[in-house]
């Protein structure tokens, strides 16, 4: 359910009818600060870490060694990276031109890299478990904070160290090449891994012998403490998704703990699974729907049609103008399109779910 809520949120904010008309909760903070939208990506990395504990323990019980598990994590992580690159490369033509400016960082490449490296850290610290992973989180946050603040750079959009590193290594292959900027840059990968590892620590706790109600209580308590700590730290080191600052990691992980605690209470204590089946449908095929929705949105922008006035417009503009023009408020209209996109993908995934089709890498 938690993963489904996260994926629904991700698709909703990625598919408005008009990027110029958004309510503030459904748009990213421009630089410092946060909105609810800024919780989505770290929540996905967090739940990757949680689920990873269950997967690793299951495979170990079947006789897999840590080296085999590290190889498997690396293969899976790099496959996710390749899927992300394929999405960025689409529609593949003109081949050489698109290849010359292919975006190397991205959402799926970050998830794949964080999963592969984070899992290797977990396996290396397996005998120490909680202590080892907690030490890794603290070390990554400390290292990243020093890189941001102790290397002579500032925290402005133009003067931060992440931009400098990305321009030195990936110039021409970033999200905003003209500005030389990418929110999924190299330096912030360190703290993205830390976000995943906070999920790993949560997974260790969920596998403990505590009762479900005890788990819910502790998740909510830890979530409140971590959220408050992140906000407090943010007074010194601003909460910033673009830089993935340490305060952002602590704050969003605290919010994820709180959100997961609520899901655990609703599903495992109250037994209200059926009313939230909508989110379970998305949670069982997260990577599939993310990839397909991204490719479809790109296709809608590439296909050109002629509207009623004779103007050549994209398929997205044609559908949006023709199907949602009856809604007077432009912001409501924009989000209505996003909601329709969610309903469409739910219908597709429901077919997959009924037939037992689950895409796993």
Closest CA to 207 of 69, 49, 6: 49
Q: Coil, strand or helix: which one is 182?
A: coil
Specify the pairing of strand 304-306 against strand 312-314.
Answer: antiparallel
**What digits encode the pLDDT tens for the residues 162-187?**
999 999 999 999 999 888 999 999 99
At 288 the pLDDT is 92
Confidence band of 54 (pLDDT split at 50, 70, 90): very high
Mean pLDDT of 203-208: 95
At 322 the pLDDT is 85
* Count of CB atoms situated within 10 Å of the CB of 229: 15
Mean pLDDT of 266-275: 93
Mean pLDDT of 313-326: 91
Q: Is the pLDDT of residue 240 over 90?
A: yes
Measured in whole angstroms, the distance separating CA 330 from the mean position of its chain's CA atoms is 28
At 213 the pLDDT is 95
3-state per-residue secondary structure call for 231-276:
HHHCCCCCCCCCCCCHHHHHHHHHHHHHHHHHHHHHHHHCCCCHHH
Name the token pair of 287. Answer: 């990577």
At 6 the pLDDT is 96
Q: Is the pLDDT of residue 125 over 90?
A: yes
Residue, of 342 and 361, whose pLDDT is higher: 342
Q: Coil, strand or helix: which one is 323?
A: helix
Residues 6+ away with beta carbon under 8 Å from 306: 312, 313
- Percent above pLDDT 90 for the chain: 92
* Count of CB atoms situated within 10 Å of the CB of 26: 17
**Residue pair 258/223 in contact by the 8 Å Cβ criterion:** yes
- For residues 136 and 320, what is the distance between their CA atoms, to the nearest angstrom? 47
Residues 6+ away with beta carbon under 8 Å from 294: 14, 87
- Percent above pLDDT 70 for the chain: 100
Query: Which region among 114-123, 243-252, 287-296, 302-311 has the lowest average model confidence (pLDDT)?
Result: 302-311
At 93 the pLDDT is 87
- For residues 110 and 199, what is the distance between their CA atoms, to the nearest angstrom? 16
Mean pLDDT rounded to a whole number for the chain: 94
Q: Is the pLDDT of residue 311 over 90?
A: no
Name the token pair of 110. Answer: 């970050």
Alpha carbon of 72 to those of 54, 56, 78, 133, 134: distances in Å? Answer: 15, 10, 10, 20, 23
Residue, of 361 and 201, whose pLDDT is higher: 201
Mean pLDDT of 244-269: 97
Query: Which region among 258-262, 286-290, 310-314 has the lowest average model confidence (pLDDT)?
Result: 310-314
- For residues 123 and 125, what is the distance between their CA atoms, to the nearest angstrom? 5
Would you kindly state where each structural domain of the chain is located, as residue ranges?
Answer: 2-355
């Amino acid at each position: 359910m938690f993963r489904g809520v996260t994926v629904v949120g991700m698709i909703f904010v990625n598919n408005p009818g008009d990027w110029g008309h958004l309510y503030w909760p459904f748009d990213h903070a421009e630089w410092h600060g946060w909105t609810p939208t800024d919780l989505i990506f770290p929540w996905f990395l967090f739940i990757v870490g949680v689920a990873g504990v269950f997967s690793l323990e299951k495979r170990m019980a079947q006789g897999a060694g840590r080296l085999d598990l590290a190889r498997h994590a690396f293969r899976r992580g790099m496959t996710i990276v390749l899927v992300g690159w394929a999405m960025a490369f689409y529609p593949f033509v003109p081949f050489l031109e698109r290849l010359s400016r292919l975006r190397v960082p991205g959402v799926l490449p970050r998830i794949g890299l964080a999963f592969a490296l984070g899992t290797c850290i977990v396996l290396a610290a397996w005998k120490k478990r909680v202590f080892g992973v907690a030490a890794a989180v603290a070390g990554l946050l400390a290292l990243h904070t020093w890189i941001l603040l102790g290397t002579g750079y500032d925290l402005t959009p133009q003067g931060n160290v992440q931009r400098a590193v990305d321009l030195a290594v990936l110039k021409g292959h970033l999200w905003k090449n003209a500005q030389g900027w990418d929110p999924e840059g190299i330096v912030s990968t360190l703290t993205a891994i830390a976000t995943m590892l906070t999920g790993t620590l949560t997974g260790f706790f969920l596998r403990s012998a505590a009762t479900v109600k005890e788990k819910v209580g502790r998740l909510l308590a830890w979530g409140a403490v971590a959220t408050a700590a992140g906000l407090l730290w943010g007074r010194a080191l601003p909460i910033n998704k673009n830089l993935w600052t340490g305060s952002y990691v602590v704050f969003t992980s605290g919010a994820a703990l709180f959100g997961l605690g609520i899901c655990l209470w609703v599903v495992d204590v109250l037994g209200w699974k059926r009313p939230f089946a909508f989110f379970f449908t998305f949670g069982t095929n997260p990577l599939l729907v993310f990839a397909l929705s991204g490719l479809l949105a790109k296709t809608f922008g590439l296909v050109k049609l002629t509207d009623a006035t004779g103007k050549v417009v994209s398929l997205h503009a044609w559908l949006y103008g023709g199907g949602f023009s009856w809604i007077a408020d432009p912001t409501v209209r924009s989000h209505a399109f996003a909601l329709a996109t969610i309903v469409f993908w739910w219908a597709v995934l429901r077919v997959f779910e009924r037939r037992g089709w689950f895409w796993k890498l």
